[in-house]
Chains A and B, each alone.
Chain A
Amino acid sequence: MNSPNIADIYTEYHTKVLSYITARVNSRSDAEDLCSDVFEKVQLKLSTYDSTKAALGTWIYSITRNCVIDFYRRSRPSEELDEQLPSDDEVDDGILRDETLTELAAALSTLPDELKTIIVYRYYDGRPLTEIAKMMGLSYGATKLRHNSALELLRRAMSA
């Protein structure tokens, strides 16, 4: 896609945007409204998109993420934001690429099932270690130790 146009962008990214929003909000109607908001913003900002600074997918992800954050601030101002949502300054430092996700999958596949489970529960599901401990029938201390082991193994696998 040399000069992205909104129709092509919608076709390519609609499912990804909706999947991300659906994982974050509980209401279908809110998810669909937010999805529309995202593509309105994409269209408004498309002229400012700089392909030398971020891949198109990463740029659209950033807009999507910010729409979800704004939604929570508007609708639930008293609630704390999901701690799993990366902050603005953390969104893109070049690691948000499909290749990095594939690398993470390869690293995860080297872990024993128990450690893999802790990582998925903690970082994909967003569960605290206390909840993971109960789910896995382990003490909090044992879970934390296994979590730290998993992190170290992943660190080594992804730096190799």
Chain B
Amino acid sequence: MEKKLTKLFDYQKFAGNKALQGIIDSVHARSGRRELSLDEEELVNAAGAPYAGQTPPEDQKKDLN
């Protein structure tokens, strides 16, 4: 069974079956973990700031003024 699951989940990364991807995405969403796309990874700066690409919270008040 383990080999079968290994094969199927690897194939899923190619085939993108919607039903199975829905389950995978819901598991990741529940745990707050999600693989970043390459575009998103490029936005994460070296310090790993979670709001890369957006206005940092401490600067948002300044933007309002």
Give A contacts to B, CB under 8 Å: 16-17, 19-20, 22-24, 26-28, 31, 57, 61, 64-65, 84-86, 90-91, 95-96, 98, 100-102, 104-106, 108-109, 113, 116-117, 119-124, 135, 151, 154-155
Smallest CB separation, B16 vs chain A (Å): 6
A101 touches B3 (CB 8 A): no
State whether A105 and B17 are in contact (beta carbons under 8 Å apart), knowing that A86-B7, A120-B24, A154-B5 are contacts in the complex: yes
Give B contacts to A, CB under 8 Å: 1-17, 19-20, 22-24, 27-28, 30-31, 35, 37-38, 41-42
List 8 A-B pairs, minimum CB-CB distance, nearest first: A101-B17, A105-B19, A105-B20, A20-B14, A120-B27, A123-B9, A28-B38, A123-B5
- Selected from A85, A91, A95, A104, the residue in CB contact (under 8 A) with B20 is A104
Could you tell me the distance between the alpha carbons of A119 and B6 in the complex, rounded to whole angstroms?
A: 10
Could you tell me the distance between the alpha carbons of A32 and B39 in the complex, rounded to whole angstroms?
A: 13
Main secondary structure of the interface of B (DSSP, over half): helix
B23 touches A117 (CB 8 A): no
- Selected from B17, B22, B23, B37, the residue in CB contact (under 8 A) with A98 is B17
A102 touches B17 (CB 8 A): yes
Residues of A within 8 A of B23 (CB): 105, 108-109, 116, 120
State whether A96 and B17 are in contact (beta carbons under 8 Å apart), knowing that A108-B23, A116-B23, A120-B24 are contacts in the complex: no
Residues of B within 8 A of A65 (CB): 10, 14
B37 touches A22 (CB 8 A): yes
Could you tell me the distance between the alpha carbons of A27 and B10 in the complex, rounded to whole angstroms?
A: 19
B1 touches A91 (CB 8 A): no
Could you tell me the distance between the alpha carbons of A86 and B9 in the complex, rounded to whole angstroms?
A: 10
B5 touches A101 (CB 8 A): no
State whether A16 and B30 are in contact (beta carbons under 8 Å apart), knowing that A31-B38, A91-B7, A123-B9 are contacts in the complex: no
Residues of A within 8 A of B13 (CB): 19-20, 23-24, 124
